Amino acid sequence: MSSSASPSHPKVGITEVARHAGVSPGTVSNVLNRPERVAAGTRQRVERAIAELDYVRNSSGSSLRSGRSSSVGLLVLDVTNPFFTEVSRGVEDEAATQGLAVVLLNSAEARERQRRNIRLLAEQRAAGAVVMPVDDDLSDLLWLRRQGTAWVALDRGDVGEDTGCSVSVDNREGGLIAGRHLIGLGHERVTFLSGPFSIEQVRLRHEGLRAAFAEAGLDPDTSVRLVERGQLNPGQGERAVDEVLAGGPRQRPGAVLCANDQLALGLMKGLGRRGLRVPDDISVMGYDDVDFADLIHPGLTTIAQPKYDLGRAAMRLLNSELDDPDHRHERLLFTPELIVRGSTAAHRPA
């Protein structure tokens, strides 16, 4: 076994790089942190020494000296939800333009876990954070800012500009669009399969759905039934079948709008196990347009959100705050879009 493969092989530091390149340790530090201050020939010599010695810089040490690391946190509600895959890609691509690494954290829709992760970001001196809060209480984020860590709220539209930056999609409009689609198909009684109402997005989608029925001259209190679940995942959707079908065939809704695609996919699985066909027996609609929504049969009708753009815009605002001490907080609002596939069809009387 060669010495370079040995676990006891000594780590190379700035002093060794400087000696190898024939420069001072300060010059090596400048090449690593302020390369524009170093003459091109000297910089190339140092970079060659770094490559030849396989030097890895100690970012933790430099972050302690500067008070800020080269990483940012991305805290999402559910790391298993493919919606966040595209959001994360947008955050990461934008962070890379500033040489920042992204650390993905999962709150699992739990406030205590969110609090622990936010404290961890403060302890690690993260440069900043993009956070999807678990509920309306922003005290964790306000605490994080008091520790000197900037943040942007992701998919939350109710953050005041005097509080912080936010990037969101118009969830009420999304619910309105979904409702108009189902009403246009002749559905006058629908069920909204919901996640926790503590999540702002869920409440606004329900509000928009009810507004669509009111707009059509139908009473939302009798036209829209709410079935609330504890989480927004496929297992919860599958387990909601009994509640959705409660009352027998005559009470069965003609359509179900789910608060996200995860719930919708689980519900469709559960309905299939009961021998019910989508959309022949009941229409099902999701929200988010995750990547595999069009890979199932029938394809899932849903409300698409610009997931990648959402993440990229959030990170762009965070970069702006990190670069400019006089940064003014902004609120960005994207518009959702109806994607019609095979899981919704015209109402058929029972």
For residue 54, the model assigns a pLDDT of: 83
Q: What average pLDDT does the structure give for the chain?
A: 90
> Whole-prediction pTM value?
0.77
CA angle in degrees (0–180, nearest 5) for 130-198-283: 100
| Dist CA 24 CA 303 (whole Å) | 59
- pLDDT number for residue 162: 72
Judge whether 293 and 307 are in contact, CB under 8 Å.
Answer: no
Q: Residue 129 class from Cβ within 10 Å (0-12 exposed, 13-18 middle, 19+ buried)? A: buried
Q: What are phi and psi of 277, to 5 degrees?
A: -105, 140
- How many whole angstroms from its chain centre is CA 62? 29
Alpha helices in the chain (DSSP H): 14-21, 25-33, 40-53, 59-66, 83-96, 111-123, 139-146, 171-184, 200-215, 220-223, 234-239, 241-244, 261-273, 307-323
The pLDDT tens digits of the residues spanning 28-45 come to 888 887 888 899 999 999
- pLDDT tens for 107-158 read 988 999 999 999 999 988 899 999 999 888 899 999 999 988 999 999 876 7
Confidence band (pLDDT; 50, 70, 90) for 58? low
- Supply 238's token pair: 């599958």
pLDDT tens digits, 255-292: 999 999 999 999 999 999 999 999 999 999 999 999 88
How large is the greatest C-alpha to C-alpha distance in the chain, in angstroms?
86
Q: Tell me the pLDDT tens digit for each residue of 306-325.
A: 999 999 999 999 999 998 87
